[in-house]
A and B are shown apart, each in its own frame.
Chain A
Amino acid sequence: MVEDKRRYWNPVLETLDPEQHRALEIKNFRRLIRYAKGHSLFYQEKYKDINPEDILDLDTIRRLPLVDKEDLRKAQEGQEPFPYGEMLGVPLAEVTDFRQTSGTTGRPVYVPESYESWQWRVEVWCHILWMAGFRETDRVFIPFGYNVYVAFWEGHYAAEKVGCEVVPGGALDTRGRVSKIMEVKATALMNTPTYGLHLAEEVGKMGLDPKGLGIKRMLCAGEPLPPATRNRLGEIWGAEVYDHIGGTEPCAWAAMCGERQGLHIMEPFFLVEILDMETLSREVGPGELGVVVVTPLGRHSFPLLRFNTKDVVRRGEDNCPCGRTSKMISGVEGRADDLRKIRGVLFTPVTVEEVVRKEFPQVVEFEILVERKNLMDEICLRVEPQEEMGKETAKDFCRHIGERLKTKTNLRFQIEMVPPGGLPRYTLKSKRFKDLREVKNHE
């Protein structure tokens, strides 16, 4: 019985019947609308004609308006109370934490957390860490200066609550972090996938094997983690590598369990809708791609109802062997913003990463450039190998990788070899995909 109680963070919640998850989500959605209308200027206006008591089921929820990042920006810029504007859901005096988005798609969004909302977020993360096997015996090293970005703050506070020992790794360079991992005998890491690879590269330069550092588990955050990259990280580090999905605005809404066959939606903390990409009105079925719309149901400081994350995921099959009954997604395809038409073909950069990481271990870093030349779209993969290649080897390599990319993406790539050390290294999110057609369009 002790074993069973320790398997799940919350054994009752995590194994509820799916209908009970739905019932809770609908009830909490109603509760959140009531709260948001009473406390947030944005929702007072946006939902002025909506009576929360009319929210009876998912169909009625689906008729409510979506909110996207641009709505959040408009609700904040130049609006009182500074700096959160009309999105604020608690008195300004109750805000205890300032967070912001990374600003990769435009002006950052400022996200306030009250003490209560923050603890709610941390509670979700406790589930995530527990699912990934983090326990009181773990010494967790977080190789980042957290700054205003939320992910590693959440991981830090949740790891503490779970009972782990947390070693913050900011204010060190990568080599310093490697040394610290060894010095304290860390057993777990939290990092972006990109940085996990970069850290391993640095370990190699120090003449060591990452497997020898004793890391048993790694939780990744901040950017998509294609299966090939996850496997590569697992092989390099000799560790179990876990994915989760979230954001500053919508919080962490899905995560991997020990089975690592897809990600569980963190029900009933969130109402997560995975909607068809054409109309955003129909819930997709298993195996289908859809856009994710998230409502964090217990967060009051920044109420978010039907937030269009623009993440594109594949709906998974439920009934995970772990016993958790939440809905599943089988993988993240990327951001809807990153889905592009190139020569009429729908393309996502995640496909390239999957090919490179799975089939070409000699590639250390890569970059994808899309340009328009002579009225035609051209796509180029710039690759940096571990070691300089001979002329014939490079020629064969370019031909082989080009063929694999053509098979997987239906696009003919130019392949450009870059000398070792020639491509940038990223410590946070990578910026490997550059659509230069848009830059030119805006000039």
Chain B
Amino acid sequence: MNKSKETVGRADLKKMKENIDQIEVHLAKLLELGGGMPVIEKNVRAMKSFIHALKFGVSDIAELEE
């Protein structure tokens, strides 16, 4: 196993993925609660975009290692 994987182990990746998934669920709930308010809609959109990037760089790798 290479040096970087020692510092961020499999267990961490799995937990990170779980956290990312939970954030996504929370964002969906927040959007629903917002009822179409632009402040919620637009900020949730922004946060979902960061989740897309995190899923690419973290969650996908966690799934690969499962």
Please report A residues at the B interface, Cβ cutoff 8 Å: 1, 4-5, 7-8, 10-16, 20, 23-24, 27-28, 115-116, 118-120, 122-123, 268-269, 297-298, 323
Contact = CB atoms under 8 A, between A and B. Distances in A.
A268 B57 CA distance: 8
Interface in B20-63: 45-46, 48-50, 52-53, 56-58, 60-61
B32 to A, nearest CB: 19
A120 B4 contact: no
A52 B4 CA distance: 34
Contact of B13 (A4, A7, A12, A298): A12
Contacts of A8: 4
A116 B61 CA distance: 20
B56 A116 contact: no
Given A1-B7, A11-B7, A16 B46 contact: no
Of A12, A20, A23, most buried by chain B (CB within 10 Å of CB) is A12
Contacts of A14: 4
Interface string B2-21: 11110110000100000000
Given A116-B48, A120-B49, A268-B60, 14 more contacts: A1-B7, A4-B3, A5-B8, A12-B4, A12-B58, A13-B57, A15-B2, A15-B5, A16-B61, A27-B60, A28-B56, A116-B49, A123-B56, A298-B53
B43 to A, nearest CB: 11
Tell me what chain B mostly uses at the interface: helix, strand, loop, or mixed: helix
B52 A116 contact: yes
Contact of A20 (B46, B57, B58, B64): B64
Interface of B: 2-5, 7-8, 13, 45-46, 48-50, 52-53, 56-58, 60-61, 64
Contacts of A27: 60
B53 A15 contact: no
A1 B7 CA distance: 7
A7 B2 CA distance: 14
A24 B61 contact: yes
Interface of A (DSSP majority class): helix
Contact of B8 (A11, A23, A116, A119): A11
Contact of A323 (B4, B7, B48, B60): B4
Given A12-B13, A23-B64, A115-B49, A323 B2 contact: yes
Contacts of B8: 5, 11-12
A27 B64 CA distance: 10
A401 B46 CA distance: 55
B52 A120 contact: yes
B50 A119 contact: yes
A7 B52 CA distance: 23
7 contacts: A12-B13, A16-B61, A20-B61, A28-B60, A120-B52, A123-B53, A268-B60
B2 A4 contact: no
Most B Cβ at <10 Å: residue of A5, A23, A116, A268: A116
B64 A24 contact: yes
Contacts of B13: 12
A16 B5 CA distance: 8
Q: Select the residue from B46, B58, B60 with max chain A CB neighbours within 10 A.
A: B60
Contacts of A4: 3-4, 7
B60 A118 contact: no
Contacts of B58: 10, 12-13
Contacts of A297: 56
Contact of B56 (A1, A23, A269): A269
Contacts of B7: 1, 4-5, 11
Contacts of B5: 11-12, 15
B45 to A, nearest CB: 6
B44 to A, nearest CB: 11
A16 B2 CA distance: 9
Nearest to B6: A4
A99 to B, nearest CB: 17
B46 A115 contact: yes
Contacts of A15: 2-5
Closest CB pairs A-B (n = 9): A11-B4, A119-B49, A123-B53, A116-B49, A15-B4, A115-B49, A116-B52, A298-B56, A4-B7
B62 to A, nearest CB: 9
A106 B60 CA distance: 38
A32 to B, nearest CB: 12
Nearest to A14: B4
A322 to B, nearest CB: 11
Contacts of A10: 57-58
A123 B3 contact: no
Nearest to A23: B64
